[in-house]
């Protein structure tokens, strides 16, 4: 099926109803029953997740427990067991490590794996079926697997068939397999966003990708979100799986945990900007520069995900960092979830003194224009407020 394929082969492995599956492993009498994970013996709080049997009745994650009982008064609710979730997470990841070291954990119940190398020896579909079977036999946990050339497409593929689904999505099949799907199925399009699109007549991914709808969509969700989603759908997003992507000793970071979980993008962005000001001060004080910003978010179910953005040149410009953090938040935030922790960091930082200015035929004109503009601004300031109010460090008189 993928014979002579030259691109990357990315698996997205998504454990099906993971918390519920773990509870069924611990208590087999729950199998086949409508039950949910939350706070047992109370009408307070919300559900973490629900079994497929409960989902068929309309019971779902983040639903207030009292509302779930209105749908099914006999609903079984079991307490969360994070120690067991973590235990089986590590067992799950260790099985995948037997096939590849290129693993990127997305959350406690899903990961991306680059299977390009091993697929030269075993067909990726055969490999995916073997992994599914092993997870069932050894851990008693079902999963769905998407196979595609990018992380985004692999994620979209794994969501197409659940439980125990297996979907291959090639770039040439995007129109055939993705375009008929609802716009709400686009990974990254939040629960508060897709109704706006549907109300405006953007019902399917095909509608979303129609050039005639571009202006309308940009008005609804913004140019950055539109361009990002469009490129992802076309297969132009990342195909790189990097183990321990964010574990770098040359880094500065900070985080905060909320007493009351937050689900508002505006509120979370305000907190992130405050955290950013804190670490930016440490960056400047240490005379460091960076070109990589990292955002970390942990939702109310303790799923943690991090992403980073890297620009071309090292800087300590907080305005640039603010824009990068806002872009990352728009990409990562799931508006159906609430968040208990957010963090901001800089990775791959270097001392400003280590930064060497590089001039070449492609950048000399840009740098000269930029420097001339700065000098003109400095001259205007000095003419207004007095000589030597502001100057280039190299021109400073001893």
Domain encompassing residue 368: 364-395
Check residues 303 and 234 and name the one with the higher pLDDT: 234
User: Is there a single domain that holds both residue 41 and residue 166?
Assistant: yes
Per DSSP, what are the bridge partners of residue 306?
Answer: 296
Which H helix or E strand runs over 284?
Answer: helix 265-285
- Given the residues 83, 84, 104, 110, the one annotated as active site: 110
User: Is there a single domain that holds both residue 323 and residue 218?
Assistant: no
Round to the nearest angstrom and report the end-to-end CA distance of the chain. Answer: 72
The reply to whether 246 falls in a domain is no
The pLDDT score that the predictor gives to residue 105 is: 83
**Is 110 annotated in the active site?**
yes
Q: Select the highest-mean-pLDDT range: 243-257, 325-339, 349-363.
A: 325-339
C-alpha dist (Å) from residue 355 to 9, 181, 358, 366, 369:
37, 48, 9, 18, 20
Question: Is pLDDT above 60 for 240?
Answer: yes
The reply to whether 20 falls in a domain is yes
The pLDDT score that the predictor gives to residue 85 is: 87
How far is residue 96 CA from its own chain's centroid? 20
- Domain endpoint, select from 122, 142, 170: 170
The pLDDT score that the predictor gives to residue 350 is: 84
The reply to whether 242 falls in a domain is no
- Domain endpoint, select from 149, 170, 191: 170
Closest C-alpha among 173, 188, 181, 238 to residue 208:
181
Q: Select the highest-mean-pLDDT range: 235-239, 302-306, 313-317.
A: 235-239
The reply to whether 114 falls in a domain is yes
The reply to whether 46 falls in a domain is yes
User: Is there a single domain that holds both residue 110 and residue 222?
Assistant: no
Question: Is pLDDT above 70 for 298?
Answer: yes
The pLDDT score that the predictor gives to residue 160 is: 96
User: Is there a single domain that holds both residue 14 and residue 105?
Assistant: yes
The pLDDT score that the predictor gives to residue 339 is: 92
Q: How would you classify the pairing of strands 251-262 and 166-168?
A: unpaired
Instruction: For residue 195, give the CATH number of its domain.
Output: 1.10.150
Backbone angles phi, psi at 290, to 5 degrees: -150, 165
Provide the percentage of residues in the chain whose pLDDT is more than 70: 85
Pick from 316-320, 328-332, 384-388: least confident: 384-388
User: Is there a single domain that holds both residue 135 and residue 272?
Assistant: no
The pLDDT score that the predictor gives to residue 278 is: 82
Give tens-digit pLDDT for 146-197: 999 999 999 999 999 999 999 999 999 999 999 999 999 998 787 778 899 9
The pLDDT score that the predictor gives to residue 115 is: 97
Residues 160/185, Cβ–Cβ less than 8 Å: no
User: Is there a single domain that holds both residue 24 and residue 146?
Assistant: yes
User: Is there a single domain that holds both residue 105 and residue 192?
Assistant: no
Question: Is pLDDT above 90 for 34?
Answer: yes
The reply to whether 71 falls in a domain is yes
User: Is there a single domain that holds both residue 215 and residue 266?
Assistant: no
Q: Which long-range contacts (CB under 8 A, 24 or more apart) does 242-245 make?
A: 242/102, 242/104, 243/101, 243/102, 243/103, 243/104, 245/104, 245/306, 245/308
User: Is there a single domain that holds both residue 266 and residue 226?
Assistant: no
The pLDDT score that the predictor gives to residue 108 is: 79
Question: Is pLDDT above 80 for 12?
Answer: yes
User: Is there a single domain that holds both residue 213 and residue 318?
Assistant: no
The pLDDT score that the predictor gives to residue 93 is: 94
Check residues 387 and 184 and name the one with the higher pLDDT: 184
Question: Which band of pLDDT confidence, cut at 50, 70 and 90, is reported for residue 389?
Answer: low
Distance CA 93, CA 109 (A): 9
User: Is there a single domain that holds both residue 261 and residue 325?
Assistant: yes
Question: Is pLDDT above 90 for 70?
Answer: yes
Domain count, the chain: 4
Instruction: For residue 344, give the CATH number of its domain.
Output: 3.30.1490.100
Structure token digits, residue 91: 């067992």
CB atoms within 10 A of CB 389: 11
Scanning 82-173, the segments in alpha helix (DSSP H) are 82-97, 124-134, 151-158
The reply to whether 239 falls in a domain is no
Q: How many alpha carbons lie under 13 Å from residue 190 in its C-beta half-sphere?
A: 18
Question: Which band of pLDDT confidence, cut at 50, 70 and 90, is reported for residue 248?
Answer: very low
The reply to whether 245 falls in a domain is no
Question: Is pLDDT above 60 for 120?
Answer: yes
The pLDDT score that the predictor gives to residue 335 is: 78
| Residue-averaged pLDDT of the chain | 85
User: Is there a single domain that holds both residue 334 and residue 374?
Assistant: no
Residues 203/210, Cβ–Cβ less than 8 Å: no
Q: Select the highest-mean-pLDDT range: 2-16, 296-310, 349-363.
A: 296-310
Strand ranges inside 173-275, DSSP E? 251-262
Structure token digits, residue 250: 């040359």
Give tens-digit pLDDT for 333-381: 887 888 999 999 998 788 877 665 443 343 334 444 555 566 666 666 6
């Amino acid at each position: 099926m993928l014979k002579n394929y030259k691109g990357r082969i990315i698996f997205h492995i998504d454990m099906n109803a993971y918390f519920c599956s773990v509870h069924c492993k611990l208590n087999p009498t729950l199998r086949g029953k409508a039950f949910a994970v939350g706070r047992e013996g109370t009408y307070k709080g919300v559900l973490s997740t629900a079994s497929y049997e409960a989902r068929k009745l309309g019971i779902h994650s983040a639903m207030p427990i009292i509302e779930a009982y209105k749908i099914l008064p006999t609903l079984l609710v079991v307490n969360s067991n994070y120690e067991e979730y973590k235990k089986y997470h590590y067992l799950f990841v260790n099985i995948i490590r037997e096939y590849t070291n290129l693993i990127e954990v997305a959350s406690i119940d899903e990961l991306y794996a680059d299977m390009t190398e091993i697929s030269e020896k075993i067909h990726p579909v055969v490999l995916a079926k073997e992994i599914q079977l092993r997870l069932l036999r050894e851990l008693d946990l079902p999963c769905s697997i998407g196979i595609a050339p990018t992380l985004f497409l692999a994620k979209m593929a794994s969501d197409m068939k659940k439980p125990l689904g297996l979907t291959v999505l090639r770039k040439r099949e995007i129109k055939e397999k993705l375009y008929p799907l609802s716009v709400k199925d686009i990974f990254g399009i939040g629960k508060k966003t897709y109704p706006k699109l549907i109300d405006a007549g953007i019902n399917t991914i095909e509608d979303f990708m129609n050039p005639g709808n571009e202006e309308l969509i940009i008005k609804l969700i913004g140019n950055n979100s539109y361009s990002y989603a469009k490129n992802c759908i076309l297969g132009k997003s990342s195909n790189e799986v990097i183990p321990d992507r964010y574990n770098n000793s040359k880094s500065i970071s900070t985080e905060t945990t909320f007493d009351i979980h937050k689900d508002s993008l505006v509120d979370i962005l305000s907190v992130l900007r405050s955290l950013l000001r804190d670490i930016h001060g440490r960056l400047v004080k240490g005379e460091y520069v960076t070109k990589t910003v990292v955002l970390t978010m942990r939702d109310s179910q303790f799923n943690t995900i991090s992403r980073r953005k890297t620009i071309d040149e090292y800087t300590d410009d907080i305005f640039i960092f603010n824009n990068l953090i806002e872009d990352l938040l728009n990409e990562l935030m799931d508006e159906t979830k609430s968040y208990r922790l957010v963090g901001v960091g800089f990775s791959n930082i270097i001392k400003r003194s280590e930064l060497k200015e590089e001039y070449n035929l492609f950048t000399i004109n840009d740098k000269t224009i930029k420097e001339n503009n700065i000098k003109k601004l400095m001259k205007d300031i000095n003419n207004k407020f007095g000589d030597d109010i502001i100057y280039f460090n190299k021109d400073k008189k001893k």
